[in-house]
Amino acid sequence: MAGIDWELLRAKAIEATARSYAPYSGLAVGAAAVVGDGRIITGCNVENASYGLALCAECTLVGQLRMTGGGRLTAFACRGGDGQLLMPCGRCRQLLYEHGGPDCLVDAPDGIVTVARILPYAFGPEHLPE
């Protein structure tokens, strides 16, 4: 947790909600993460009329990670448009595991926890045959 400006990360997540496309649910979601090289990247949710094809903020954040040079996520925060803490869904917890690893820090209702805590017994690339 040392060196992570959680207030800045939360503010960046809230700021990202302004770019959200949520005409169906009305729930604007923004995500922000610190990358291993110190960059802060953001993402927002992008809904779709077919609902199931909507992209969570974490999905666009990982796209931003890849588009800006890759790396590993080290800390993550997610907020709604009014600033409320939101937790990643199951698919997005898997994305955080894949792109940040089990030790990536997550802003959670009970404080700062690891991805391993919110996704125990995760399946990842290390489980695939070589």
Alpha carbons 67 and 32: distance in angstroms, whole number: 15
Burial pattern 58-92, b for ≥16 Cβ within 10 A else e, equals: bbbbbebbeeeeebebbbbbbbbbeeeebebeeeb
Residue numbers annotated as active site: 58
Model's pTM, two decimal places? 0.93
The pLDDT tens digits of the residues spanning 13-64 come to 999 999 999 999 999 999 999 999 999 999 999 999 998 899 999 999 999 9
Residues forming beta bridges with residue 45, ordered by sequence position: none
Yes or no: say if 100 and 89 are a contact pair by the CB < 8 Å rule.
no
> Cβ distance 101 to 130 under 8 Å?
no
Using the predicted structure, report yes or no on whether residue 1 has a pLDDT greater than 80: no
